[in-house]
């Protein structure tokens, strides 16, 4: 059952929320030992919340659009009184005294939290192998990674442990694992969803979003969690267009641009299109590009017009990102100093305690990024590194804005390849970083993007295609995603 | 107000000039903190006014307090600054009383720039900037030696963390220790006038650092400066600057040069001691805080702030001197404005009171906490009585005190007390006797130059006062003396 089907059944009394929760808990107990999606399962709390919802249904009280829907929360979202670790030794055992805004909103919508999911430590990684508590495995092939950093959330949805999950996306951390696990993942417009209560990695890029098994579920979750929050001054004020209601309207007349820089091997790029001179990102596998071409064909068949669009600065995204994100991270993670909460390694004085704590508490990738970021912001280097990255960001915003004057949405791959094996990319951080090359541009521009499963690669593993649009174009993106979802169904014509 | 603080506070040796710029941190007296809803209150139980935001808990986000921003802009306008679009920046360094291990401040785009502060004596000191930032928590070192290096442990109170501050940075336009104090006093008066802060140095809601250097008089170079911290009173400020200036002159004169460094003022020993050297100073890695949107005050907002500004001390002093005449000294005008008594004096003058006398009398004889019962009307009546010679100066002072106490009309008090000035004839008789008893003084008075006369007039008047137990009118005695000399 999808999340929306569960909610409808619970609201009508056809199914009890408790039975839904028990069913999911049973699956977790049966299989999560193998998958490792959860850092913490909240069985008692979930069952008690479910009972409350069932009682409310019995009394005829309104129970919300996601009533009884089991959700999994990435373990970098603050949950009041419930451990929130960011998969780091640094925060092991820390219990926040408050709920993230998204957690409050999901609860108000009737959703039931079943657990906190694994991630790359502080959301830094693309495989969920950087967790202090061990890796999460891909439910499609447990020798493979689920992607990251929201790998636990993607795996939880793919394995049927939860109907919905929340992830956070700083450079692709929702979309890339969604692609690798064969689920839908939405990175909303920066500011569409409050970041209050999301443990910060890179504040100007971080955005919370849903992972779901269907586009409609992702849309319903997005509706529940988005909207202005006075606790986040970067959250966007003003009303939003409804998303779920318009999902079935199709893509007739929609102008779709295939983003040439992400599709070097596309049959659509080059030759007749006159875009021969495009410098594209490296490493996107031909079987992935083939799925992008198939998606373009499916959209065209549904009435969209297809063109090829070039955004030259898109190839600079990765370099700019790996200066901006670590720079912000180096500042955001300074607070883990052993003074107030989390790990403390005692030493002779405050400064030494600070060093000992951070040395013991952070993993290698987190340390690497803190050092990178500290360097990028240092006196004498700021202009050459951080300053230049900001200029690239400005350039990308300008070029994407120009592209969106000509097309409504851009199409490309989400991840360069299907899920890779555990350990395959851990030796070389740069190889791992290349996983985000297709997803990073939307974080730098603050624009929304969705990854939707669209068939499989040569290895039979899921491939996700990515739809990107201008700010607050989520209704349009999800409408197009719904068309692809439909086309990818058995008999849908695209597989 | 403030005589020289110590023997050290002497002028620099000839040929040297003092160059001082001040950095003043002021806590804004808003109801809540700069980035969260916690109470901004001094003196509460430690760690009771805290929340996830001001404790910097993971996931929390700052949201700028509009009234703090407005208050900072008001202060900026009061200092004649340009109020501009501004961004918050992070100043990164590790310290246990700083919850996020970065301080949210303003760096290259502060809210207020390019202002000026006019001192009571008419000199102006440039204001480079006045930017908004958050305060840190407060660390108390206990056990062991109780100092930062030898304490057993440290306790941190985060009630102060996130309290809104404005840092006012002056240009290096200050030339004497007294001028530095005047700057701080005037700044305090402005802060009180606009209601931005209670500006109490002793409670730490106003903290002053001084950047001190010296140079050969007449040159316009800026030599190596030292930043002196821990100046918790005007007295310390003046003494520290004077000490540091002498130290610099000593170094330069001996062929050495001061090191650019932070120094701490040791009040007990009356000297500065070296702190952190700027050479190994932290690199703060400033960058725009991505959690906060830029501040973009519209011209309308700035106009509304201007419209709401109360009359400022400099303007009030000018108006007072305008009403009372040039006989009113700048210093007395400053005192009256500081005590909020300028409106009283001006209203009494408007009601017919003699301007200079009224200002002087209020300045010297109404330095009391509560003077609310002294209405302009009563004050005008009293001043009329004194200037008409109906009561002596001494009596007028007593009447002022009683009037402030009871609010009773001065004529009624004088009546009850039997106050009246001596008739001129009686006064003349007494003066004759005093002259006879002090013939030597009188002779010297008659023969003396102006200075000598002034001195002896004081002496002779004092003798008359003694003989009349203060019932004589001093100015009448002076007049009589003058007449007698003229007749001689």
Indicate the number of domains in chain B.
3
A74 assigned to active site: yes
> Residue A187 catalytic?
no
Q: Tell me, yes or no, whether B438 and B408 share the same domain.
A: no
Tell whether B241 and B318 lie within a shared domain: no
Q: Domain check: are A15 and A111 in the same one?
A: yes
DSSP string, A441-481: HHHHHT--EEEEEEEE-TTS-EEEEEEE-STT-HHHHHHHH
Q: Which of A87, A131, A149, A235 is catalytic?
A: A149
Q: Of A350, A384, A418, which marks where a domain is finished? A: A384
Same domain for B133 and B48, yes or no, is yes
- Answer yes or no: do A172 and A289 share one domain: no
pLDDT of residue A275: 64
Cα–Cα separations (whole angstroms), residue B175 to A22, A76, A111, B11? 79, 55, 68, 11
> Per the domain annotation, does B84 fall within a domain?
yes
Please list the alpha-helical segments (H only) found in A267-316: 286-301
Beta bridge partners of residue A121, listed in sequence order = none
Same domain, A64 and A177: yes
Residue A442 inside a domain? The answer is yes
How many domains does chain A contain in total? 3
Residues A323 and A307 in one domain: no
What mean pLDDT, rounded, does chain A reach? 96
Q: Which of A327, A357, A384 is the last residue of a domain?
A: A384
In a domain, residue B4? The reply is: no
CB atoms closer than 10 angstroms to residue A409: 27
Q: Do residues B293 and B339 share a domain?
A: no
A242 and A274 in a single domain? The answer is no
Cα separation, B336 vs B360, in Å, equals 9
Whether the predicted pLDDT of A264 surpasses 90: no
- Report CB contact under 8 Å: B100, A382: no
Give the integer Cα–Cα distance in Å for B28 and B199. 8
Residue B271 tokens read as 């000297």
In chain B, residues 115-174 whose CB comes closer than 8 Å to chain A: 154, 156
Decide if pLDDT at A274 tops 70. Answer: no
Chain B positions in Cβ-Cβ contact with residue A197 (cut-off 8 Å):
59-60
3-state secondary structure of B247: helix
List pLDDT tens digits, range B433-482.
898 898 888 888 888 888 888 888 888 888 888 888 777 777 778 888 88
Q: Per this entry, what is the length of chain B? A: 488
Domain stop point among B367, B398, B417? B417
Q: Is residue A389 part of a domain?
A: no
**Beta strands A208-212; A164-168: pairing state:** antiparallel
Its domain, for residue A367, covers: 318-384
Are A133 and A62 part of one and the same domain?
yes
Whether A390 is covered by a domain: the verdict is no
- Hey, are the CB atoms on A233 and B291 less than 8 Å from each other? yes
Asked whether residue A127 falls in the same domain as residue A22, the answer is yes
Spatial neighbors of A45 by CB under 8 A, at least 6 apart, are A82, A113
State pLDDT tens for residues A426-481: 999 999 999 999 999 999 999 999 999 999 999 999 999 999 999 999 999 999 99
- B428 and B371 in a common domain: no
Instruction: Identify whether residues B343 and B358 lie together within a single domain.
Output: yes
Q: Evaluate whether residue B475 is within a structural domain.
A: yes
Query: How many C-beta neighbours within 10 Å does residue A30 have?
Result: 11
Q: What is the mean pLDDT of residues A19-29?
A: 98
Give the pairing of strands B153-157 and B138-142.
antiparallel
Q: Between the CA of residue A359 and those of A337, A343, A354, A370, B99, what are the distances in Å?
A: 10, 11, 8, 12, 19
Query: What pLDDT is stored for residue B7 in this prediction?
Result: 40
| Start-to-end C-alpha separation, chain B | 42
**Domain stop point among B291, B308, B325:** B308
Q: How far, in Å, CA of B459 to CA of B482, rounded? A: 14
Specify whether B46 is located in the same domain as B114.
Answer: yes
Mark yes or no for CB contact B287/A98 under 8 Å: no
> What is the reported pLDDT for B470?
72
- 182-241 of B, contacting A, C-beta below 8 A: none
Show the domain range for B161. Answer: 16-308
Q: Chain A interface residues facing chain B, Cβ-Cβ under 8 Å? A: 76-78, 84, 86, 91, 94, 96-98, 100, 195-200, 202-204, 230-234, 327-328, 330-331, 334-335, 337, 339-341, 350-351, 354, 374, 377-379, 382, 386
A394 within a domain of the structure (yes/no): no
Residue B8 CB-density burial (10 A; 0-12 exposed, 13-18 middle, 19+ buried): middle
Q: Do A113 and A154 fall into the same domain?
A: yes
Decide: residue B142, CB within 10 A, 0-12 exposed, 13-18 middle, 19+ buried: exposed
What CATH number did the domain enclosing A56 receive? Answer: 3.90.1300.10
Please check whether residues B189 and B246 belong to one and the same domain: yes
Residues B184 and B214 in one domain: yes
Residue of A nearest to B295 (CA): A233
How many whole angstroms separate alpha carbon B181 and alpha carbon B197?
18
- State the nearest Cα–Cα gap between B230 and chain A, in angstroms: 22
Q: What is the mean pLDDT of residues A246-255?
A: 96
Average pLDDT value for residue range A136-142: 98
For residues A71 and A184, membership in a common domain is answered with yes
- The residue from B292, B308, B324 where one domain ends is B308
A439 assigned to some structural domain: yes
Distance CA B465, CA A122 (A): 85
User: pTM to 2 decimals?
Assistant: 0.89
Point out the domain boundary residue: A246, A278, A296: A246
* Cα–Cα distance, B68 to B32 (Å, whole number): 9
- Are B325 and B304 in a shared domain? no
Are residues A366 and A222 located together in one domain of the fold?
Answer: no
For the stretch A152-206, pLDDT in tens is: 999 999 999 999 999 999 999 999 999 999 999 999 999 999 999 999 999 999 9
Q: Is residue A393 one of the residues assigned to a domain?
A: no
The distance in angstroms from the start CA to the end CA of chain A is 23
Work out the minimum CA distance from B152 to partner chain A, whole angstroms: 9
E strand or H helix that includes residue A185: strand A184-187
Mean pLDDT, residues A52-62: 97
Decide if A464 is inside a domain.
yes
Question: How many alpha carbons lie under 13 Å from residue B331 in its C-beta half-sphere?
Answer: 4
Whether A149 sits among the annotated catalytic residues: the reply is yes
Torsion (CA) B463, B468, B474, B475 in degrees, nearest 10: -120
The Cα–Cα gap between A388 and A400 comes to 18
Please tell me whether residues A242 and A260 are part of one structural domain: no
What's the pLDDT score for residue B276?
64
B164-170 β-sheet, strand order: B82-83, B112-118, B124-134, B164-170, B16-27, B206-216, B226-231, B261-266, B271-277
CA of A79: which chain B residue's CA is closest?
B59
Q: Does the residue A329 lie in any domain?
A: yes
Q: CB neighbours of B385 closer than 8 A, spacing ≥ 6?
A: B391, B396, B399, B410, B411, B414
Q: Do B94 and B118 reside in the same domain of the chain?
A: yes
Q: Which residues of chain B have pLDDT under 70?
A: 1-10, 145-150, 276-281, 421, 488
> What is the least distance, in Å, from the CA of B284 to any CA of chain A?
8
Provide, as residue numbers in chain A, all residues whose Cβ is less than 8 Å from the Cβ of B136: none
Instruction: Tell me which chain B residues have a C-beta less than 8 angstroms from the C-beta of A78.
Output: 57-59
Of A87, A88, A173, A313, which is the active-site residue?
A173
**B324 and B292: one domain?**
no
Question: Quick one: A302 and A325 in the same domain?
Answer: no
Q: Could you give the CA distance from residue B195 to residue A416 in angstroms, rounded to a whole number? A: 60
Give contacts of A86 with chain B, Cβ < 8 Å.
Answer: 58
Kindly write down the DSSP assignment for every residue of A361-420, as one continuous string. Answer: HS-HHHHHHHHHHHHHHSTTTTIIIIIHHHHHHHHHHHHHHHHHHH-SEEEEESSSSSPP
Interface test with chain A among B59, B69, B104, B137, by most A beta carbons within 10 Å: B59
């Amino acid at each position: 059952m999808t999340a929306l089907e569960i909610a409808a059944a619970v609201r009508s009394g056809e199914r009890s929320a408790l039975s839904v929760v028990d069913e999911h808990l049973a699956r977790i107990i049966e299989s999560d030992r193998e998958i490792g999606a959860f850092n913490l399962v909240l069985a008692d709390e979930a069952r008690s919340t479910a009972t409350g919802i069932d009682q409310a249904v019995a009394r005829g009280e309104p129970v919300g659009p996601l009533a009884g829907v089991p959700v999994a929360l990435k373990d970098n979202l603050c949950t009041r009184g419930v451990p929130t670790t960011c998969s780091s030794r640094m925060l092991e055992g820390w219990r926040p005294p408050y709920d993230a805004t998204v957690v409050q909103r999901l609860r108000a919508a009737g959703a039931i939290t079943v657990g906190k999911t694994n991630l790359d430590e502080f959301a830094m990684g693309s495989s969920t192998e950087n967790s202090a508590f061990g890796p999460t495995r891909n439910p499609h092939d447990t020798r493979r990674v689920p992607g990251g950093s929201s790998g636990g959330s993607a795996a939880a949805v793919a394995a049927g442990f939860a109907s919905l999950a929340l992830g956070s996306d700083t450079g692709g951390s929702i979309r890339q694992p969604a692609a690798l696990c064969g689920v839908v993942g939405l990175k909303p417009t920066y500011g569409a969803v409050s970041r209050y209560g999301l443990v910060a990695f890179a504040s100007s890029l971080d955005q919370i979003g849903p992972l779901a098994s269907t586009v409609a579920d992702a849309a319903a979750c997005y509706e529940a969690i988005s909207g202005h929050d006075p606790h986040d001054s970067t959250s966007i004020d003003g009303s939003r267009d409804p998303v779920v209601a318009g999902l079935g309207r199709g893509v007739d007349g929609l102008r779709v641009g295939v983003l040439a820089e992400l599709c070097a091997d596309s049959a659509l790029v080059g030759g007749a299109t006159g875009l021969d001179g495009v410098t594209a990102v490296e490493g996107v596998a031909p079987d992935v590009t083939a799925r992008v071409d198939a998606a373009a064909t499916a959209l065209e068949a549904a009435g969209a017009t297809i063109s090829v669009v070039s955004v030259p600065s898109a190839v600079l995204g990765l370099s700019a990102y790996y200066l901006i994100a670590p720079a912000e991270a180096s500042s955001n993670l300074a607070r883990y100093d052993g003074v107030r909460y989390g790990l403390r390694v005692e030493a002779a004085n405050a400064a030494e305690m600070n060093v000992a704590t951070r040395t013991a508490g952070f993993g290698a990738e987190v340390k690497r990024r803190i050092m990178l970021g500290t360097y990028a912001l240092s006196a004498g280097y700021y202009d050459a590194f951080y300053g230049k990255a900001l200029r690239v960001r400005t350039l990308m915003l300008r070029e994407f804005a120009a592209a969106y004057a000509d097309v409504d949405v851009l199409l490309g791959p989400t991840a360069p390849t299907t899920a890779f094996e555990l350990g395959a990319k851990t030796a070389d951080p740069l190889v791992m970083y290349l996983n985000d090359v297709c997803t990073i541009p939307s974080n730098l521009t603050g624009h929304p993007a969705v990854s939707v499963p669209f068939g499989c690669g040569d290895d039979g593993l899921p491939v996700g295609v990515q739809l990107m649009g201008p700010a607050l174009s989520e209704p349009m993106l999800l409408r197009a995603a719904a068309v692809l979802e439909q086309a990818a169904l058995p008999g849908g014509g695209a597989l | 107000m403030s005589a020289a603080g110590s023997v050290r506070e002497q002028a620099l040796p000839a040929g040297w000039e003092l160059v001082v710029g001040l950095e003043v941190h002021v806590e804004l007296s808003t109801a809540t903190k700069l980035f969260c809803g916690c109470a901004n209150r001094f003196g509460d139980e430690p760690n009771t006014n805290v929340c996830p935001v001001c404790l910097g808990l993971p996931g929390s986000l700052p949201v700028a307090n509009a009234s703090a921003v407005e208050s900072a802009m008001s202060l900026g306008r009061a200092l004649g600054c340009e109020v501009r679009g501004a961004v918050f920046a992070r100043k990164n360094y590790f310290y246990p009383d700083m919850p996020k291990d970065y301080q949210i401040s303003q760096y290259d785009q502060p809210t207020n720039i390019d202002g000026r502060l006019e001192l009571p004596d008419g000199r102006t000191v440039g204001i480079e900037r006045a930017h908004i930032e958050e305060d840190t928590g407060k660390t108390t070192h206990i056990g062991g030696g109780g100092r930062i290096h030898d304490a057993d442990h440290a306790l941190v109170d985060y009630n102060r963390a996130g309290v809104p501050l404005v840092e006012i940075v002056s240009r290096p336009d200050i030339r004497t220790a007294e001028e530095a104090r005047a700057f701080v006093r005037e700044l305090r008066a402005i802060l009180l006038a606009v209601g931005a802060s209670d500006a109490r140095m002793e409670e730490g809601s106003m903290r002053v650092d001084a950047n001190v250097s010296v140079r050969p008089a007449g040159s316009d170079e800026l030599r190596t400066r030292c930043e002196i911290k821990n100046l918790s009173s005007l007295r310390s400020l003046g003494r520290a600057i004077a000490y540091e200036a002498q130290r610099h002159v000593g170094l330069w004169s001996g062929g050495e040069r001061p090191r650019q460094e932070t120094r701490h003022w040791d009040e007990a020993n009356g000297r500065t001691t070296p702190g952190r050297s700027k050479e190994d100073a932290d690199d703060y890695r400033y960058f725009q805080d991505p959690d906060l949107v830029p501040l973009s005050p519209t011209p309308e907002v700035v106009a509304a702030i201007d419209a709401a500004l109360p009359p400022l001390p400099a303007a009030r002093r000018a108006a007072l001197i305008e009403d009372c005449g040039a006989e009113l000294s700048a210093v007395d005008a400053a005192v009256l404005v500081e005590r909020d008594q300028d409106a009283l004096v001006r209203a009494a003058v408007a009601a017919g009171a003699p301007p200079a006398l009224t200002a002087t009398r209020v300045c010297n004889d109404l330095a009391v906490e509560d003077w609310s019962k002294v209405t302009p009307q009563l004050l005008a009546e009293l001043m009329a009585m004194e200037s008409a010679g109906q009561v002596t100066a001494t009596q007028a002072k007593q009447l002022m005190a009683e009037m402030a106490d009871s609010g009773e009309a001065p004529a009624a008090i004088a009546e009850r007390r039997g106050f009246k000035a001596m008739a001129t004839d009686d006064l003349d008789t007494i003066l004759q006797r005093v002259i006879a008893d002090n013939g030597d003084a009188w002779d010297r008075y008659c023969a003396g130059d102006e200075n000598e006369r002034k001195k002896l007039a004081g002496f002779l008047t004092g003798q008359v006062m003694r003989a009349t137990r203060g019932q004589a009118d001093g100015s009448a005695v002076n007049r009589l003396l003058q007449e007698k000399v003229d007749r001689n």
